[in-house]
Structure 1
Amino acid sequence: MMRRYVCNLVWSKNVNELVSTHGYSQNQIIVWRYPTMSKLATLTGHTYRVLYLAISPDGQTIVTGAGDETLRFWNVFPSPKSQNTDSEIGASSFGRTTIR
């Protein structure tokens, strides 16, 4: 049986979505659509449990910290102005990951 330990939750300020971070055995970040709780994206990269999660003041970027002593920045949520536009999941420079 695979267990998924939830370490953190944060709600988007701009759209009906939330992010959960997880520990053993997946060490991942998941973006969920609310209220259906359908999975929008699974973000991986940490090699140990994701212990910390914070969101930027503009509500677009999250930062995660893990037991592997790394910080990762993720452009997860759209800005309030771009809520109706879709874009593809992809990576950007400077160690940031964009999912829209």
Structure 2
Amino acid sequence: MNDLVNGNTLVFKVSEQGEIGELNITGDVTNFIADMSDVTLEVVEFIKNNLITFGQSIDSKKGSFVIVSTHQFDENLNIVPTMQEAFDYIEMEEIERQLDF
């Protein structure tokens, strides 16, 4: 899955093996949701450093990066248990950016 939602949010699926397909990123994409709901904790631990680096890169560009997972594996990453919470989190961060928080 690699879906553009709301024009500026890209949702992508991370496979059970921790693989990510090609991301079709347009100039308007500023927010990313990684669906890792099917990924085991062992695989998450294996790719955690890449996720942190990606998240820092997105954050430095005033975007949001949210991971959907039932595993809480790093306090520096935005991890939520459901896709709806991921969209809500991004919406809250966009409001904060508009208000310069």
Both structures adopt the same fold (TM-score exceeding 0.5): no
Normalized per residue, which structure has more helix? 2
Higher strand share: 1
TM, length-normalised to structure 1: 0.28
Name the TM-score, length of structure 2 as normaliser: 0.28
